[in-house]
Structure 1
Amino acid sequence: MIEETPAKVPCQACKDGKKLDFDFSMAFQPIIDIRNNSVFAYEALVRGLDGSGAATILGNVNEENRYAFDQACRVKAVELAAKLQIPCFVSINFLPNAVYKAETCIRATLNAARRFGFPTERLIFEITENEELVDKEHLKSIIREYKLQGFKTAIDDFGAGYSGLNLLAEFQPDIIKLDMSLVRRICTDPVRQAIVKGILGVCQALNINVIAEGVETTAELQQLLALGINLYQGYLFARPEFETLPNVNWPEHSVL
């Protein structure tokens, strides 16, 4: 990728990083706001060019091409979001260990947004809690820079990874996404209900929005609604669709 605005301080990864020798595309899955039956955001999910699952692509990612892949994911997501005329937020996963200098590495994303005409204020960057963080200070600097640029930030798979609530003590994102392991069977599991209720209390105090991801059944939805969650993602509403925006299965009013 050639950046439209050259970096003042060249990043070593830009000079030495291995170029990608494979291509990929994206599928999109909606995140809905149950309060007004609207789409809050679409998450961009990596897919093979034939629509195959993310594993077929992620298996090609290694230490040498991690930086190039992370940058290419951002650009591809922005390009497709503009092509599909997405009117809301677009959520993009990023690899914190592939970001060397936040203010430099973000330039390709900014240039892509300008080139394709997609508003940067409608971008959300997700870090997955499953990825072990080598340097929390580095992550904090990334989040700080992204917020300065007007992006929203999110912790994906919250509750399933290495840090849990300790991560919130280090920095406060705009959004957390409850891992599906907490959502699954929550309708019959008082332990999961108590854990999620506690997380919601912390997030409310810190002004952090909560998305329940991996919602698959009406019973799960009913329990999560009772706990006060308004933002949802999962097969109950829509499966990811390759290079297009899926139709949303809105819940019956009786559920509410």
Structure 2
Amino acid sequence: MAFQPIVDVSREHVWGYEALVRGENGESAASIFAQVEEPRKHHFDQACRQRAIEMAGRLFPDERTRLSVNFLPDHEQVPKAAMRASLDAASRAGLRPNQLMFEFTETGHFGDLGGTANLVEKYRDLGLLTALDDFGSGYSGLLRLAGLQPDFLKIDMGLVRNISADKRRQAIVAAVVSLARALDIDLIAEGVETREESTALRELGITLFQGFHYARPTIGTLPPVMVS
């Protein structure tokens, strides 16, 4: 597992870390999951999540630091198993439920949006946070947002890239900011690579950032972070 920080620039501190599956030589999560047979993917997905929680329990500096983990919603049994197994792993690792955030990844498709929405409510009742990943990529649409009401939206890097010089992207992200405020949802901009992108996003009202501008993911440890 590798860890990449999510930085709160308004408070100049690390809000949390996303746990990312990586191969021994840094291979991407997609390439690793491609090697796992379909019947075993949900078991592998859960094992990665538990491993991330165990490592976070050893690495995190305090109880305010959150851990964001992904799960695949295209396996019906995964969300229920993830909730119980992840809470058990967190308890063993010394993490509180409100330190965990589940990201709904764009790689899976929600066969039963209503059922997933009910699970999101159960997560919230237990103190867990939820996020809709890659918002604006074409996978995470407005209907999914309306049905799930997550705690966070992660703005896709495709909207972030070169936003400082692109008025169309600025207008779209400004609309997302307004929508999120109306729905009482917080925003995380991911894939931020330059100071110019960071500045443009801050001017639009976003304060939580993730990307190479702040730190690259590092395997097995927490990377040094630039928080400004």
Q: Normalising TM by the smaller chain, what interval? A: over 0.9
Q: Secondary structure at the match of 2:181?
A: helix
Distance, in Å, in 2 between the alignment partners of 1:250 and 1:104 is 35
The residue that corresponds to 1:76 in the other structure is 51
Worse-matched range after superposition: 176-185 or 53-62: 53-62
Unaligned stretches of 5+ residues in structure 2:
none
Match of 2:41 in 1: 66
1:181-237 deviations in Å (ceiling 9; x for gaps): 000021111111111111110100111000110011111111111101100000000
Q: Counterpart of 2:176? A: 199
1:85 corresponds to which residue?
A: 60
DSSP 3-state at the match of 1:40: strand
Q: Which residue of 1 aligns with 2:5?
A: 30
Distance 1:160 1:245, change over 3 A: same
Per the alignment, in what secondary structure is the counterpart of residue 38 of structure 2? coil
Identical positions, percent? 46
Structure 2 counterpart of 1:166, from 119, 129, 143: 143
- 2:162 matches 1:185: yes
The whole-number CA distance in structure 2 between the counterparts of 1:69 and 1:61 is 8
Q: Do residues 156 (structure 1) and 133 (structure 2) align? A: yes
Q: Is residue 103 of structure 2 the alignment partner of residue 126 of structure 1? A: yes
Q: 1:176 aligns with which of 130, 142, 153?
A: 153
Extract structure 1 runs of 4+ deviating beyond 4 A: 101-105
| 3-state secondary structure, aligned to 2:153 | strand
**Cα displacement string for residues 70-96 of structure 1 (whole angstroms, at most 9, x for unaligned residues):** 211221111000111343000001111
In 1, are the aligned partners of 2:19 and 2:68 still within 8 Å (CA)? Answer: yes
C-alpha offsets along residues 22-78 of structure 1, whole Å, 9 cap, x if unaligned? xxxx00000000011100110000012454332442112342012201211221111
Once residues 81 and 104 of structure 1 are traced to their aligned partners in structure 2, the CA distance between those partners, rounded to angstroms, is 20
Greater gyration radius: 1
SS in 2 for 1:91: strand
TM-score by length of 2: 0.93
- Correspondent of 1:116 among 77, 93, 99: 93
Kindly indicate whether the alpha-carbon contact (under 8 Å) linking 1:67 and 1:99 is maintained by their aligned counterparts in 2.
no
| Structure 1 residue ranges without an equivalent (≥5) | 1-25, 252-256
Cα distance in 1 for partners of 2:99, 2:165 equals: 36
Which amino acid is the alignment partner of residue 213 of structure 1? E
User: How far apart in 2 are the matches of 1:29 and 1:140?
Assistant: 27
* Structure-1-length-normalised TM-score: 0.83
Give me the CA root mean square deviation.
Answer: 1.7
Task: Tell me the equivalent position of 1:41.
Answer: 16
Distance in 1, Cα, partners of 2:122 & 2:100: 14
Match for 1:227 among 200, 204, 208? 204
Q: Greater RCO between the two (CA within 8 Å, min separation 6)? A: 2
